[in-house]
Structures are given as structure tokens and as C-alpha cells.
């Protein structure tokens, strides 16, 4: 693997025509996108998410995760919770990854885990409201309904397709738990409160600036740091009063394990997405946006499929998909492909696919991405047939 990477870097350095203006702009956008990602998402989105994932791995008992999200859990309960989680978290496709990795490694079944993975960024209440305001009520409603249905169907299909793997995994997890299970000294309410406070910190610290400076979301945005700072003080008090030093070291260690697993792949994916497609809305990537606009006109199978593929690989920061789509619709994009991109784009990206592969493996990641693309394509074609 390392040898192949060295060869790939050498060949790229040797053959890429860096003197070409298009290549230079793509390279510039590649690093601009990485900088934008670092400035807007790492400190206030990913860092809290990593600490939450570490807390899940250390302080949430495996028995609890398996009871509510394991392969043998009550499916109505597990899929209901997983499929609407995005309305609470309002995270992007990268921020959801540590949380997904945390519950999956603790024993959650692949069905509820992938339903949560999709719904986290897809069912963002602010994004759906803004879609309805900017792109029209019909498209906003179709996005909201489609995202919830997608989360449940994706989870059920993943569970069905990999049921044998999940049965073996559940048996191994239960056997390992039987050997290591121990009574937790800390009451459940303390653990729930501690993680709940961190989730609130994530929600308000990552609160995106709304396009319109009015309404409830704008009012919350104006005071969100005045909410975060007291929550940080409460968290500090909890850590001081409720946790032993050894437990805190274990928590930090688990958090670092997630950082080491996820961050390098995210950065690599952001660089690749920036080089190929450029900063969202600029069209400075090696693939011009004008090509994309021409390929997503009308409501043909190819237009919807291409919009789904672009959405699956392009990186969208929270809410940026809306002005991008507004521009594409103005350039002739059909409303069916627009919905396809909205359903595939926020939940998938090249960076998050690289990380999902490190958690689920190549085969399951390809199946997950394929289900999203196929469902987005079909949904776009159906929606595009309505006048």
C-alpha cells in the first residue's frame, strides 16, 4: 500500500501539467478548500464530535448499545431514533463520522448505524427550511420526506444484505462482552447528562450562519456562543466532580484513536474533492462546473444518475448545497436531478467515503454508496415527472 502511494505521488508529480492555468486553479482551490474546511469545521464541529465518540466508546456500555441499536434490537425503536437524528444534530457528512464510528464499534447493527450515518447530515432542519425558502416549497418538502424514507430504507437494505455478517458480528461482540462485562459505578443519569451536554455543545458551537438575518435561526446564531460557554463550564464541573483521572485518560485516549483513524482520510478526501471539483460554486476544479450543468438538464435517467454521482463525491459544507443548486437550476438543471443531488450530496462525499471504508470495509462501503446513488436517481426521476 505504501509503495503504491509513493508511486502514485511520483507519477502525479511527474506528469501533471502544472503550467496549465486550469491545473493551477485546481491546485489553488484544492488548498483553499482544505483551509476553508479547517477553519469552519475542525474546531467547532469535528473536535466536539470526536470527544463524543470517545465518550461513547468508553462510558456507554456495550450492552446498552446492543439493546437499542444492535442487530437483535427492536427495529421500530432503533430505526425511528436513527432516521430522525439529523433534525437534532444538524451536522455535515464529515462531522457525523466520529459519532457513527463510535456507535458502530460499540456493537450497533449495520442497519441502524447506516441509517444514522445517512440521516445525520441529510435531515438538517435548517437546510430543509432554507431549501423550501430558496428553491421552492415542493423541493423542500420532497427533500424532507425523501431523506427520512432514505434513512430507513438504506438501513433495512444494509441489514438485509449483510445479515449473515451481522449475525457473526453480534455473536462475537456478545461473547467479548460476556468476558469483559463489569458493573458501572457511575449512575446512568450522570453518563446521559454528560454526553447530552457535549451534544448540545456540538449543536450550538457548529450553528451555521443563516442566509437571512431574521427569524429564529438568526436569533439563535446571535447568541450561540453565550449558550456554548456556560455549557463548557458545566462540562468542566462534571469532569471534575464525577470522573477519576484514569477514566479521563481513557476517554482522551479513545478520542485520539478516532482522530488518528479519521482525520488523515478526511484531509486527503477534501484535497481530492477540491482538485476535481474546486471550491463549491467557483468552478475552478479540474472538472468545470459548466460540464456538470450541461449534463444535468432535463429529467432523463442519465441526468439524474449523473447528479447523484456528483452529489456522492462532491463535498458540501453545511447549507452550501443550496446556493450551488440555485446556480445550477439557473443554468438549466432539471428539478429531478436537483432533488437527486440534494438527497445524495449532503450525506455522501469523497472524504466521508474514505472514512466509512476504514470502518465498514470496501464491500459494505460500496454497497452503501450504491444504494444512496440508485435511490437518489430513482427519486429524482419520479419527482421530475410531476409538473
What's the pLDDT at 237? 94
- Pick left, alpha or beta for residue 167 (phi over 0 → left; psi -120 to 50 → alpha; otherwise beta): alpha
- Pick left, alpha or beta for residue 283 (phi over 0 → left; psi -120 to 50 → alpha; otherwise beta): left
Give the end-to-end CA distance of the chain in Å, rounded to a whole number. 51
What's the pLDDT at 69? 73
Question: Residue 345, Cα to own-chain centre: how many angstroms?
Answer: 10
Quick one: DSSP state of residue 209? P
Within 8 A by CB and 6+ apart from 358, the residues are 261, 262, 265
User: Rounded to two decimals, what is the model's pTM?
Assistant: 0.73
Q: How many CB atoms lie within 10 A of CB 13?
A: 9
Q: How far, in Å, CA of 128 to CA of 243, rounded?
A: 39
pLDDT < 70 regions, the chain: 1-2, 5, 61-68, 70-72, 85-93, 124-126, 129-130, 170-186, 211, 280-283, 289, 293, 317-320, 323, 326-327, 330-331
What's the pLDDT at 123? 73
What's the pLDDT at 366? 93
* Long-range contacts of the stretch 165-170 (C-beta < 8 A, 24+): 165/110, 166/71, 166/109, 166/110, 166/111, 167/71, 169/71, 170/66, 170/70, 170/71, 170/72, 170/107, 170/109
Nearest of 383, 355, 380 to residue 369 by alpha carbon: 355
What's the pLDDT at 181? 47
Amino acid at each position: 500500500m505504501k509503495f503504491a502511494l509513493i508511486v502514485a505521488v511520483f507519477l502525479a508529480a511527474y506528469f501533471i501539467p502544472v503550467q496549465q492555468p486550469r491545473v493551477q486553479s485546481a491546485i489553488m482551490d484544492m488548498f483553499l478548500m482544505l483551509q476553508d474546511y479547517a477553519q469552519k469545521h475542525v474546531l467547532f464541529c469535528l473536535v466536539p464530535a470526536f470527544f463524543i465518540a470517545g465518550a461513547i466508546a468508553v462510558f456507554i456500555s456495550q450492552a446498552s448499545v446492543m439493546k437499542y441499536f444492535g442487530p437483535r434490537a427492536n427495529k421500530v425503536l432503533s430505526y425511528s431514533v436513527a432516521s430522525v437524528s439529523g433534525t437534532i444534530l444538524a451536522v455535515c457528512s464529515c462531522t457525523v463520522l466520529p459519532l457513527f464510528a463510535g456507535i458502530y464499534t460499540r456493537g450497533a447493527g449495520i442497519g441502524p448505524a447506516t441509517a444514522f450515518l445517512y440521516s445525520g447530515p441529510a435531515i438538517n432542519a435548517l437546510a430543509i427550511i432554507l431549501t423550501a425558502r430558496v428553491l421552492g416549497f415542493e423541493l423542500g418538502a420532497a427533500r424532507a420526506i425523501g431523506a427520512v424514507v432514505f434513512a430507513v430504507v438504506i438501513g433495512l437494505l444494509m441489514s438485509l444484505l449483510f445479515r449473515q455478517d451481522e449475525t457473526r458480528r453480534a455473536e462475537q461482540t456478545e461473547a467479548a462482552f460476556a468476558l469483559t462485562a463489569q458493573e458501572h459505578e457511575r449512575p446512568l443519569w450522570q453518563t446521559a447528562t454528560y454526553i447530552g451536554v457535549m451534544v448540545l455543545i456540538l449543536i450550538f458551537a457548529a450553528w451555521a450562519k443563516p442566509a437571512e438575518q431574521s427569524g429564529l435561526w438568526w436569533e439563535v446564531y446571535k447568541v450561540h456562543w453565550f449558550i456554548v460557554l456556560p455549557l463548557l463550564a458545566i462540562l468542566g464541573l462534571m469532569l471534575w466532580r464525577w470522573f477519576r483521572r484514569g477514566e479521563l485518560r481513557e476517554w482522551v485516549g479513545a478520542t485520539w484513536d478516532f482522530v488518528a483513524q479519521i482525520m488523515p482520510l478526511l484531509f486527503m478526501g477534501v484535497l481530492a474533492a477540491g482538485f476535481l471539483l474546486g471550491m463549491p460554486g467557483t468552478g475552478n476544479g479540474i472538472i468545470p462546473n459548466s460540464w456538470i450543468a450541461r449534463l444535468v438538464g432535463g429529467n432523463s435517467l442519465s441526468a439524474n444518475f449523473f447528479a447523484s454521482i456528483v452529489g456522492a463525491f462532491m463535498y458540501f459544507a453545511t447549507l452550501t448545497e443550496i446556493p450551488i443548486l440555485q446556480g445550477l437550476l439557473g443554468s438549466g438543471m432539471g428539478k429531478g436531478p436537483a432533488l437527486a443531488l440534494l438527497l445524495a450530496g449532503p450525506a455522501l462525499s469523497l472524504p466521508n467515503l474514505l472514512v466509512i471504508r476504514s470502518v465498514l470495509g470496501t464491500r459494505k462501503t460500496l454497497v452503501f454508496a450504491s444504494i444512496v446513488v440508485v435511490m437518489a436517481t430513482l427519486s429524482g426521476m419520479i419527482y421530475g415527472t410531476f409538473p
